[in-house]
Amino acid sequence: MNPDKIIENVFRLPATVCCKELFEGIWPIPNGVMINSYIVKGKDKTVLIDYVKDWDGAEEDVNSELAALNIKEKDIDYLVINHMEPDHTGALVDIVKKNPDIKILCSKKAVPLIEAFYGLTENIFSVDDGETLDIGGKTLKFFMTPNIHWPETMMTYLVEDKILFSCDAFGAYGVYKNSFDDQLTKEEWDLLLPETERYFANIISSFSTFCLKGLKKLENVEIKTVCPSHGIIWRKDPAKVISWYSRLASYASGKREKEITIVWSSMYGNTEALVDSFIAGIESVPGVKIHVFQVPQTHESFVLEKAWKSEGIIVGMPTYEYKMFPPMFNVLDQMDRSHITKRKIARFGSYGWSGGALKQFLPFVESMKLDFLGEVEYQGAPRDEDKQNAFDLAAKMAKQIMDEK
């Protein structure tokens, strides 16, 4: 790829990671992911903001883009590390070897992490909240935004040009041929919308409270361009992605969408046999949107994307050796970790010689502060009575959701 000119002397250095990889070692990226570094050239100093790891050729991508700008590693005066996660720092040792004099700027909490991850202790300088750096005609200002999504996270703001380098905040999965929001094709928008929400649900949702605090801190900062470390650059309508993230973060404790996510597992089809009854029950109440997923056939990454937005969740799983079917346990564990709390929930499932799934399910209800509306559990195959109970339970949930102001 080629470097993208944002404005004069400010460039994006995009790297692409292929769809065969797993983000953070867990999340599927069937459409790949972009890792963005940025160059800011002042009259006196040159700054590289965030970096990459040697992952699927990402380091080579960035190095070739530096070469296209006629910038050698030794020409870079400062490397700003907004966030210490290895997708942004993994090649740190490599660049320090090529330029031992480079000054690394980061938050105070990042300093010990740099030593822990990479054994580096020289030329590392912490910056304070609100501190500025004059590089000659351009001024960088640093904002501490902890827990978006690690405790050491900060953002960097280019004062004169009102550009926010936000690292993981405002990011998205996906690889986009066009770099800016005003260039995207319809197909790219169709990819960006769900991949932004899936990225948030997978990576940021657990830290929604801190996300809202960070957004509050930026309220009085004039932002003309948002440059995240994953995804596209927002220059036409940066307020769109900022308000979008604010809405997504608000789902943690505020009003969610009038949607219900059904996620089910089945061993021999007996639990699956009630799925249509639940769908029919929801559809009997106009206005509620339904998302349906089968696991483990669908990775929980995609379940989290929809469950995060939904006011209601219905889970179906058989009892397996006196406990929950293992793939569904994993999904609920991920929901718990992602702080999908205070939703309405219902459960259904078949058992053979003995039940037991409910006993393992209830601790999740308590931990996630869920409003448990009931369950439909039965031995073997469902009977007409079970199907009617499923319909009624789903309709009850949908009606409660629609009745809420």
Per-residue model confidence as pLDDT tens digits over 370-381: 999 999 999 999
Question: pTM for this one?
Answer: 0.95
* CA dist., res. 307 & res. 299, Å (int): 13
> Which sign does the torsion angle of CA 159, 165, 171, 175 carry?
positive
* β-pair type (78-80, 46-49): parallel
Q: Do domains 4-250 and 257-403 have the same CATH topology?
A: no
| pLDDT tens sequence across 328-350 | 999 999 999 999 999 999 999 99
Residues of the chain with pLDDT under 70: none
Residue 238, preceding peptide bond in cis (omega within 30° of 0): no
CATH topology of domain 4-250: Metallo-beta-lactamase; Chain A (3.60.15)
Please answer whether residues 88 and 35 qualify as being in contact, where contact means their C-beta atoms are separated by less than 8 angstroms.
Answer: yes
Q: Domain spanning 257-403: which superfamily?
A: Flavodoxin domain (3.40.50.360)
Please answer whether residues 332 and 315 qualify as being in contact, where contact means their C-beta atoms are separated by less than 8 angstroms.
Answer: yes
Domain ranges of the chain: 4-250, 257-403
Single-letter residue type at 133: L
Q: Provide the terminal-to-terminal Cα distance of the chain, rounded to the nearest Å.
A: 49
* CA dist., res. 52 & res. 211, Å (int): 23
Helix (H) or strand (E) holding 289: strand 289-294
Helix (H) or strand (E) holding 158: strand 154-158
Cα-based distances in Å from 253 to 200, 325, 341, 357: 15, 29, 8, 28
The token pair at 15 is 């790297």
Single-letter residue type at 149: H
Cα-based distances in Å from 378 to 265, 273, 311, 365: 15, 11, 26, 20
Of the candidates 209, 294, 213, the one whose C-alpha atom is nearest the C-alpha of residue 253 is: 209
Phi, psi of 283 (to 5 degrees): -65, -20
Single-letter residue type at 272: E
Please answer whether residues 365 and 372 qualify as being in contact, where contact means their C-beta atoms are separated by less than 8 angstroms.
Answer: yes
* CA dist., res. 281 & res. 145, Å (int): 44
